[in-house]
Amino acid sequence: MAAPAQLGLQNAASPIMEELIAFHDHALMIIFLISSLVLYIISLMLTTKLTHTSTMNAQEIEMIWTILPAMILIMIALPSLRILYMTDEFNKPYLTLKAIGHQWYWSYEYSDYEDLAFDSYIMPTYFLEPGEFRLLEVDNRTTLPMEADIRVLISSQDVLHSWAVPSLGVKTDAIPGRLNQAMVASMRPGLYYGQCSEICGSNHSFMPIVLEFIYFQDFEVWASYLYIV
Amino acid sequence: MAEEMKAKLKNYKTAPFDSRFPNQNQTRNCWQNYLDFHRCEKALSAKGDDVSVCQWYRRVYKSLCPISWVTDWDEQWADGTFPGRSELAAPPSPASSVLLPRW
């Protein structure tokens, strides 16, 4: 989850998110360099007493400031497209999870074997234990196995919502009548938090998502308990 | 064929990649498997064959489709008001109509 007053992206829990962070750093560095250069040139322009009133042509500099930006844009576009296609890759999933948005909670279904389903409401602030996070905790966490490719199918029962988990680089709209597919995989066990990302009414800010990634063997135990319940 | 299907069903983990639906929108994948299950049951029971091979489609649509959609469609099927009836009557065609469920 995000630390207080955090500016940057959250730590990556999946390989895709690592690539996204790397691309973000690359693009941001280019932006900082260009902005600094432009600001510097502006300051030079504003503080000189020299004048030049007879510019007729400037062939060389025109060439430079056309070719160089084109090259910079290509250097941004190539990694961008590479990541775009990487996020669309479909690996053989181990498990299918359905995340259905409601006003104002998420419900999760694991239907590969039995119909396991539960609702996930926000934990009201009054009921938080010490150390838990306000407006981020839920009563039933979505438990998943780590190091497994998981297909998440996202939909909605009423209005538009959006299922987002920043650590995993996922944000997919929940549209009524439509099933949107996203792939999720975590490299390590842990708790990953997200929040609804499409305005959906008065409690839009109060329908968080908590994914709990655990070891395979523990996941099978958890799934069998869910069935009994 | 039935033995292969039984083996496939035994090793079923989750709905596999379907190249007919390679993109993000999997609505049609869910719908198509639901239709294919009923079409398979109808065709095989009409011929008097073993209907258990149709279980593959059932597993796939159960994996993909939200439980509420399946419940609604099962009720409609029982009532005879299932909107996909016309698609079931015709043989499967790649250029089938773009009529989507629930819209």
Which of these, A210, A198, A218, lies nearest to A146 by C-alpha position? A218
Residues shown for chain A: 229
**Residue B64 touches chain A, beta carbons under 8 Å:** yes
Which residue, among A36, A59, A39, has the nearest Cα to A47 in the 3D structure? Answer: A39
How far off is chain A from B4, nearest CA to CA, in Å? 19
CB–CB of A111 and B62 under 8 A? Answer: yes
Domains in chain A, CATH or no CATH each: 13-45+57-86 (1.10.287.90), 93-225 (2.60.40.420)
Residue appearing with tokens 């939200």: B66
**CA–CA separation, A22 vs B24, rounded Å?**
24
From CA B6, how far away is CA B21, in angstroms rounded?
25
| Phi, psi dihedrals of residue A3, rounded to the nearest 5° | -80, 160
In order along its 229 residues, chain A shows pLDDT tens digits of 788 889 999 999 999 999 999 999 999 999 999 999 999 999 999 999 998 888 788 899 999 999 999 999 999 999 999 999 999 888 889 999 999 999 999 999 999 888 889 999 999 999 999 999 999 999 999 999 999 999 999 999 999 999 999 999 999 999 999 999 999 999 999 999 999 999 999 999 999 999 999 998 899 888 877 665 4
- Cβ under 8 Å to A: B residues 44-63: 59, 62-63
Q: Measure CB to CB from residue A96 to each of B63, B67, B102 and give the nearest one.
A: B63
Q: What is the pTM of this model?
A: 0.87
Lookup result for tokens 């576009």: A77
Q: Which two tokens stand for residue A229?
A: 């319940």
To which residue do tokens 């999720």 refer?
A: A184
CB nearest A115 (choices: B26, B64, B67): B67
Q: How confident is the model at residue A225, as a pLDDT?
A: 77
Strands A161-165 and A170-174: antiparallel
The reported pLDDT for the residue numbered A167 is 95
Provide the 8-state DSSP code for B14.
S
Dump pLDDT digits (tens) for B44-69: 888 888 888 899 999 999 999 999 99
User: What are the residue ranges in chain B where pLDDT is below 70?
Assistant: 1, 86-103
B19 touching A, CB under 8 A?
Answer: no
Write out the two tokens for B48: 């008097």
DSSP assignment of chain A: -PPTT--SPPPPSSHHHHHHHHHHHHHHHHHHHHHHHHHHHHHHHHT-----------HHHHHHHHHHHHHHHHHHHHHHHHHHHHHT-----SEEEEEEEETTEEEEEE-SSS-EEEEE-B--GGGPPTTPPTTT-BSS-EEEETTS-EEEEEEESSS-EEEEEGGGTEEEEE-BT--EEEEE--SS-EEEEEE--S--STTGGG-EEEEEEE-HHHHHHHHHHHHH-
CA distances to A102, B32, B102 from A159, in Å: 7, 24, 14
To the nearest whole Å, the CA of A139 is away from the closest chain B CA by 21
pLDDT for B88 equals 64
Q: Which residues of A touch B55 (CB under 8 A)?
A: none
The DSSP result for A180-219, as a single string, is EEEEE--SS-EEEEEE--S--STTGGG-EEEEEEE-HHHH
Give the nearest chain A residue to B17 (CA atoms). Answer: A92
CB contact under 8 A, B13 and A112: yes
List the one residue out of B34, B54, B31 whose CA is nearest residue B43: B54
Decide if A178 and B27 are in contact by the 8 Å CB cutoff.
yes
For residue A181, give the chain B residue with the closest CA: B24
- In whole angstroms, how large is the CA radius of gyration of chain A? 24
Cβ separation A177–B62 shorter than 8 A: no
Cβ of B22 under 8 Å from any chain A Cβ? Answer: yes
The chain B residue lying nearest A91, using CA atoms, is: B17
CA-based nearest residue in chain B for residue A172: B24
